[in-house]
């Protein structure tokens, strides 16, 4: 090992080891000695490289810069997400190669379970007025980037007006159900509904 590599390890080996320990076994950490063009140290060697092997690094920009995250591919085809910091005195590169292939697999698995395989059969749920209110409520919230706790009175009146326009208060227990969803009283929902209908009536008045 060259003196430049020894100096690089003395300055950065503890940091490299800490990062590798935190991300084990999913990340490889590599210290490249630019003076010798070789690997000074490597932790969690996913790539099969060893200290002393050639770095195979071309032209390196000025020190103090961080590059990435960028994508790389491991020898076995795994997708890696990498970041490189340029070091000075001694000159080197601090590289972290994170194996994200398992995260990709997990994302596909979650998507398979959470995604709807087919449309909801209309005939089975035609009478499910609770589901209709749930869907309409949360669709209205998503469109406006709102949450139930953040709703002010004006928002609640507008929401009730939208539900009323869809005929969702024709069901006997709809007010009770919506009151439970909003954490409001039945009286409050009736007040919002009355306000919404008064406003709608004014809009229709020539």
Q: Write the DSSP symbol of residue 171.
A: S
Q: Is residue 206 part of a domain?
A: no
Specify the pLDDT at position 126: 56
**Whether pLDDT at 118 is above 60:** no
Q: What is the model's pLDDT at position 68?
A: 85
State mean pLDDT over 122-145.
Answer: 80
Res. 206 pLDDT band, cuts 50 70 90: low
Q: Is 11 found in the same domain as 98?
A: yes
Give the pLDDT of residue 10. 92
By the 8 A CB rule, do 60 and 77 touch?
no
The answer to whether residues 27 and 92 belong to one domain is: yes
Look at residue 23 in the predicted model and tell me its pLDDT.
92
d(CA 166, CA 186): 19
> What pLDDT is stored for residue 72 in this prediction?
85
Do 94 and 7 belong to one domain? yes
What was the pLDDT predicted at 88?
A: 86
Tell whether 116 is covered by a domain.
no
32 and 57 Cβ atoms separated by less than 8 Å: yes
82 lies in the same domain as 150: no
Residue 151 lies in a domain: yes
Give start and end residues of each alpha helix (H) in the chain.
Answer: 3-23, 101-114, 122-125, 129-144, 153-165, 174-182, 186-204
Res 7 pLDDT > 60: yes
Report yes or no: 65 and 86 within 8 Å, Cβ to Cβ. yes
Whether 9 is in a domain gets the answer: yes
CB count, 10 Å around CB of 80? 21
Query: What is the model's pTM?
Result: 0.56
Cβ atoms of 81 and 100 within 8 Å: the answer is: yes
> Total structural domains in the chain?
2
- Which pLDDT band, with edges at 50, 70 and 90, does 204 fall under? low
- Domain extent, residue 63, equals 3-103
User: Are both 94 and 62 inside the same structural domain?
Assistant: yes
Spatial separation of the C-alpha atoms in residues 41 and 1, rounded to whole Å = 10
Q: Considering only 11-25, 30-44, 61-75, 183-197, which range has the smallest mean pLDDT?
A: 61-75
User: What residues form DSSP beta bridges with 41?
Assistant: 31
By the 8 A CB rule, do 79 and 70 touch?
A: no
Is the pLDDT at 205 greater than 70, yes or no? no
For residue 46, the Cα-to-chain-centroid distance in whole angstroms is 26
- Predicted confidence (pLDDT) per residue in 53-102, tens digit: 888 877 776 666 888 888 888 777 788 899 999 998 888 999 999 998 88
Task: State the pLDDT at residue 185.
Answer: 93
CA 135, CA 143: separation in Å to the nearest integer? 12
């Amino acid at each position: 090992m060259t003196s430049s590599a020894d100096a690089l390890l003395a300055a950065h080996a503890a940091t490299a080891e800490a990062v590798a320990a935190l991300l084990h076994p999913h990340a490889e950490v590599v210290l490249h000695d630019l003076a010798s063009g070789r690997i000074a140290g490597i932790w969690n060697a996913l790539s099969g490289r060893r200290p002393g092997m050639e770095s195979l690094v071309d032209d390196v920009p000025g020190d103090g810069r961080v590059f990435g995250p960028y994508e790389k591919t491991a020898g076995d085809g795994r997708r890696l997400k990498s970041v490189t910091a340029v070091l000075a005195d001694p000159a080197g590169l601090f590289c972290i190669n994170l194996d994200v292939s398992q995260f990709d697999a997990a994302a596909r698995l979650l998507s398979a379970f959470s995604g709807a395989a087919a449309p909801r059969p209309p005939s089975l749920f035609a009478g499910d007025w609770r589901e209709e209110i749930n869907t309409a409520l949360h669709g209205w919230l998503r469109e406006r980037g709102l949450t139930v706790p953040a709703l002010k009175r004006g928002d609640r009146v507008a929401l009730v007006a939208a539900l009323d326009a869809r005929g969702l208060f024709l069901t006997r227990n709809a007010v009770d159900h919506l009151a439970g969803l909003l954490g409001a009283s039945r009286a409050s929902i009736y007040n919002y509904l009355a306000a919404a209908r008064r406003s709608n009536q004014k809009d229709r008045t020539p």
